[in-house]
């Protein structure tokens, strides 16, 4: 403002008459002056570490007269699906022994939503030499390699063996959870390797819990920024759980969370219907409508 001024009069409340300006009685509503520091002041924290830069946060950074920001690069992610039975959608009906490959599409969408970059999405043959070569190629290109399926004890389950020749160091193998027990995490060639189950629901549940957390950490975020657990009411009864920590797929309604009827790890229709995961401790008793549960947006 010009020196000595303490008010701004809007043009709508003024009228020019030659070289004279006439103002409305009372000069219009308000003084239209923002005090220095009323938005933010020198030394204020505007964006926390790990904040995702989007349309609104970029405006805030620029408004603070910041020409440069320190950011994390988008992690490069390669996704490898395993299984000779897998066929691209639209082609599975052409083979009697084929099933449509669906998991890697969902994982790729989750990776992109998490801010990372999908550099490859490949289906590998159930041949250890071929998978070893594929693993090496992906480790040379990606920061994170995700492999789906092949984590059981069958003679063609090569998810871990395909990385052994590349120096695989397992950080954990199998988790006492349902669904998703076969999930595992390791390092090879200095890169992260995450093994997800082959069953679609198991893969998406474990990806929601482990992959999102991993990608968040690689982008400077904390786990609590992406895994925000909430206490919510049940809309109906929920049965007791077994000896593993259980993540129940549920849908939110006006009266609370309603667990889906089919909790099988291989179902895929329920993935489209579920929007929450209810976290249930091992050996939890049955619950009634109105009881509070811990849940995560799925």
- CATH number of 76-226, picked from 1.10.1500.10, 3.40.980.10, 3.30.70.1450, 2.60.120.1140: 3.40.980.10
Instruction: Please tell me the predicted confidence (pLDDT) of residue 157.
Output: 84
Q: Which residues of the chain have pLDDT under 50?
A: none
Instruction: Please tell me the predicted confidence (pLDDT) of residue 152.
Output: 67
CATH T-level topology, domain 230-297: Beta-clip (2.40.340)
Give residue for tokens 């329920």.
270
Give domain limits for the chain: 1-33, 42-71, 76-226, 230-297
Residue 125 CA to residue 162 CA, distance in Å, equals 11
| 217 sits in which H/E element | helix 212-218
Residue 285 CA to residue 205 CA, distance in Å, equals 22
Q: Which residues share a beta bridge with 188? A: 191
Per-residue pLDDT of 59-83, as tens digits, reads 999 999 999 999 999 999 999 999 8
Largest CA distance in the chain: 94
Instruction: Please tell me the predicted confidence (pLDDT) of residue 279.
Output: 98
Neighbours of 162 (CB within 10 A): 27
User: Tokens representing 134?
Assistant: 């594929």
Residue 140 CA to residue 99 CA, distance in Å, equals 30
Q: Which residues share a beta bridge with 239? A: none
């Amino acid at each position: 403002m010009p020196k000595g001024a303490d008010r701004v009069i809007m043009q709508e409340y003024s009228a020019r008459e030659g070289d004279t300006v006439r103002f409305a009685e009372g000069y219009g509503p308000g003084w239209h002056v923002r005090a220095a520091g009323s938005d933010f002041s020198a030394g204020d924290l505007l964006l926390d570490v790990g904040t995702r830069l989007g349309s609104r946060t970029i405006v805030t950074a620029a408004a603070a007269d910041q020409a440069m920001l320190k950011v994390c690069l988008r992690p490069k992610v390669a996704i490898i699906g395993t299984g000779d039975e897998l066929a691209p959608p639209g082609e599975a009906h052409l083979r009697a022994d084929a099933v449509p490959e669906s998991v890697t599409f969902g994982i790729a969408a989750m990776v992109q939503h998490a801010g990372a970059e999908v550099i490859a999405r490949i289906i590998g043959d159930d041949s250890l030499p071929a998978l070893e070569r594929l693993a090496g190629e992906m480790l040379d290109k990606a920061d994170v390699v995700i492999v789906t399926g092949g984590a059981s004890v069958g003679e063609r389950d090569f998810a871990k063996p395909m990385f052994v020749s590349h120096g695989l160091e397992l950080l954990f193998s199998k988790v006492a959870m349902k669904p998703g027990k076969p999930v595992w995490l390791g390092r090879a060639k200095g890169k992260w390797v995450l093994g997800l189950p082959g069953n679609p629901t198991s893969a998406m549940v474990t990806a929601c819990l482990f992959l999102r957390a991993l990608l968040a950490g690689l982008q400077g975020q904390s786990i609590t920024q992406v895994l925000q657990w909430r206490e919510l009411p049940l809309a109906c009864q929920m049965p007791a759980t077994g000896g593993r920590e259980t993540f129940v797929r549920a849908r939110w309604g006006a009266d609370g969370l309603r667990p889906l009827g089919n909790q099988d790890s291989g179902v895929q229709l329920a993935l489209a219907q579920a929007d929450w995961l209810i976290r249930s401790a091992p050996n939890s008793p049955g619950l009634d409508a109105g009881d509070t549960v811990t849940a995560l947006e799925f």
